[in-house]
């Protein structure tokens, strides 16, 4: 059973419509610093329908890399 607060992330984009991985990393760090227990990338809040499969997978990979076991990742 999951306990605590989990943030369903938005996926930041550049003005060119590409995933902004730098801002994504900053957003994840902000959530961790704020005390969340977990991160939920690429859900409906994360614009998953707008992402190609490789982008979807990379957002998850980046999220796991940034979290480094500090908080749970649900994806």
Q: Output the DSSP codes for 16-51.
A: TSSB-HHHHHHHHHHHHHTT-SEEE-SSTTTTGGGS
Instruction: Supply the range of the domain harboring residue 63.
Output: 6-73
33-43 average pLDDT score: 96
Q: Taking the CA atoms of the chain, what radius of gyration do you get in angstroms? A: 12
The DSSP code for 13 is B
Is residue 64 in a domain? yes
Residue partners of 30: CB distance under 8 A and separation at least 6: none
Work out how many domains the chain is built from and give that number.
Answer: 1
The answer to the question of residue 57 being in a domain is yes
| pLDDT confidence of residue 59 | 97
d(CA 50, CA 24): 16
Give this prediction's pTM: 0.92
The whole-number average pLDDT for the span 5-18 is: 96
Identify the band that residue 51 occupies on the pLDDT scale cut at 50, 70 and 90. Answer: very high
Mean pLDDT of all residues belonging to the chain = 95
In this model, does residue 21 exceed pLDDT 80?
A: yes
């Amino acid at each position: 059973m999951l306990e605590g607060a989990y943030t369903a992330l938005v996926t930041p984009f550049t003005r060119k419509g590409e995933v902004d991985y730098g801002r994504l990393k900053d957003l994840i760090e902000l959530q961790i610093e704020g005390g969340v227990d977990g991160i939920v990338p690429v859900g409906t809040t994360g614009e998953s329908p707008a992402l190609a499969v490789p982008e979807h997978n990379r957002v998850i990979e980046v999220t796991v890399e940034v979290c480094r076991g500090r908080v749970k990742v649900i994806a």
